[in-house]
Amino acid sequence: MRFRPGAITVGILSLVLAACGSATSASTLSSHGAWSRPTPVGADNGVVYLTVTSDIADQISGAKVPAAIAQRAELHTTMTDSQAAGHHGNTSGGAMTMAEVDSLPIAAGESIDFAPGGNHIMLVDVAQPLELGTTFTLTLTLASGRTLDTDVIVTNNPPD
């Protein structure tokens, strides 16, 4: 057997590059605790709450559910009148208000909560009542181009 230094070097370099590529190209985006409240017959809107965690700085820029659930899903935040004045240009005397937002930032290695009284995903023009115990898929889109599918359960209280 004849020793060929070039072949060994190429083989080792290929292994190193493959290892580096897999370590740097994988990213982690996850969610947990996704839930939605049941809606009464005739309700126009529903809501989704969950926690999203990202390993890189990013922005949640959109949400989508199947047409059988709602016509569209919007990112919303709840704010005080003083915050709303800057967002909408008016105030309403101390009450909390909610507003649609284009995106919500998420820091690297951190989580963002969608919870009652804060950020939430509004389901607009629900197709039929959201019934207790049913599930549906929510797809989040991020500014980086990543997407995240998560199962949402319809329940009265957040899952443990």
- Tell if the pTM clears 0.85, that is, is over it: no
Angstrom distance (rounded) from CA 119 to CA 148: 17
The yes/no answer on whether domain 29-154 falls in CATH 2.60.40.1890 is yes
Report domain extents, the chain. Answer: 29-154
pLDDT tens for residues 28-64? 999 999 999 999 999 999 999 999 999 999 999 999 9
pLDDT tens for residues 66-119? 999 999 999 999 886 655 555 545 444 567 888 999 999 999 999 999 999 999
Angstrom distance (rounded) from CA 142 to CA 105: 9
